[in-house]
Structure 1
Amino acid sequence: MALLGEINLHLRMFLCSNPALKSPVRWLSAVAQPRPRASSEEEEPGASGPGPRPGSEEAVSQTFTNRNPRNLEQMALAVKDRGWATTWPHREFYHRLVFSRTQHHVTAEVFSASGGSSPVLSCSTREWAVKQELGSTHCVAACQAVGEVLARRCAQAGIMRMVYRAVPWTYRSDAVQSFRTAMKEGGVTLSEPRRKYVGT
């Protein structure tokens, strides 16, 4: 406390030397006043020290502002859009991973349920940084490289759980399996928790 008083004193002396800053000096002197201590009648008998007193600042606010927009999603409390039961791929997800392999390139994209049709994260062998390290842009090694790079980008973005439903007739292929293995080794879980229904 003595250090803060000393800093306040030096700051007031500095501001007083400049005539254009007279109003902030009054503001600083008003702020620097110490808080009045509670009288001895308000203190409980046997209570010693500067601990919190009941009722002083322990009141819980009636309103709550969620400053992390993904907080409910990470606790599996956010609403998932279910869509129709006949739609494929299913729309009940927070983040969905889409893996596609053509004759020339391999692409993996992560879509958000609230993001619309544009991907949140993506990786492809069309990118020069990935392409220059590969001998072929559509082989099994390319699928593994795309999985490793996308897993690193997901970790940097904080998206560690997502839904991945491969096309059934390509699920057992070596390319898809190497991609899934690379994503899992990168720390990404390819499933999401079931939504929790609290207070309904």
Structure 2
Amino acid sequence: MALSELSRSIRMLRCRLIVSTNQTTRCLSQAASQPEPEPSANEAEAVNPTFVNRNPRNLEQMALAVKDRGWKTTWPHRQFYHRLMFSRTQNHVTAAVFSSTSPVPVLSCSTKEWAIKKELPSTNCVAACQAVGEVLAHRCKQAGITRMVYRAIPWTYRSDAVQSFRAAMKEGGIILSEPRRKYVGT
């Protein structure tokens, strides 16, 4: 706090010296004068009373978008904006991000892709799960999806493969939980 006050007093002193020596140089701390707007120009720039949101994920990022509650008996429940599904078979590892509004995955990554497969010694090992997590986290960041729900099946949650996948997603900057929905009073 004291340092900023000291630098401000030095600038003011410098301005006084410039003014006292009758130089025409403008002081650095003075703002440039703004031209006065014409009254007729403001009438043409009236603000539209209705606003159309052009970013479809803006309300999701602010946790204001509607989450479909659905029936309590449906599994998996649909109370999410984006859901991460991870599956590991005998031959391949696959991860996909689903939106609550569509059954088609928004993003996906698998060891079936040639670019990932050629870098791995095996397509179903722990290193493959980690590689799929890193690539999917990068794709999610590029798409602007930073938060999603991930609920692993309880009996597979403690495996090394699932833990390395989760760790790779978190290191990639993805938060594996969504904020609670905010209810705005109307």
TM-score by length of 2: 0.76
Q: Is the contact between residue 83 and residue 90 of structure 1 (CA under 8 Å) also seen in structure 2?
A: yes
Superposition deviation, residue 86 in structure 1: 2.5
1:186 counterpart (153, 163, 172) = 172
Superposition deviation, residue 87 in structure 1: 2.2
Q: Deviations over 1:122-148 (max 9, x none)?
A: 000011110100111111110000000
Aligned to 1:158: 144
Superposition deviation, residue 59 in structure 1: 5.2
Amino acid at match of 1:124: S
Structure 1: distance between partners of 2:146 and 2:35: 46
Aligned to 1:145: 131
Structure 2: distance between partners of 1:137 and 1:178: 15
Aligned to 2:86: 99
Is 1:170 matched up with 2:174?
no
Any stretches of 5+ residues in structure 1 without a counterpart? 1-47
Q: Is the contact between residue 89 and residue 165 of structure 1 (CA under 8 Å) also seen in structure 2?
A: no
Superposition deviation, residue 50 in structure 1: 1.2
Percent of residue pairs identical: 79
Q: Is the contact between residue 93 and residue 192 of structure 1 (CA under 8 Å) also seen in structure 2?
A: yes
Structure 1: distance between partners of 2:107 and 2:172: 15
2:65 counterpart (72, 78, 81) = 78
Structure 2: distance between partners of 1:164 and 1:170: 13
The aligned length equals: 152
Structure 2: distance between partners of 1:125 and 1:70: 29
Q: Say if 1:103 and 1:155 are closer, same or farther in 2 by CA, change over 3 A.
A: same
Structure 2: distance between partners of 1:172 and 1:90: 22
Structure 2: distance between partners of 1:131 and 1:105: 9
Q: Say if 1:141 and 1:52 are closer, same or farther in 2 by CA, change over 3 A.
A: farther
Q: Is the contact between residue 97 and residue 110 of structure 1 (CA under 8 Å) also seen in structure 2?
A: yes
Which protein shows a greater Rg?
Answer: 1
Aligned to 2:9: none
Superposition deviation, residue 65 in structure 1: 1.0
Superposition deviation, residue 89 in structure 1: 1.8
Any stretches of 5+ residues in structure 2 without a counterpart? 1-33
Q: Secondary structure at the match of 1:107?
A: strand
Amino acid at match of 1:112: S
Amino acid at match of 2:117: K
Structure 2: distance between partners of 1:76 and 1:52: 42
RMSD (Å), alpha carbons: 2.0
Q: Say if 1:138 and 1:52 are closer, same or farther in 2 by CA, change over 3 A.
A: farther
Structure 2: distance between partners of 1:178 and 1:49: 60
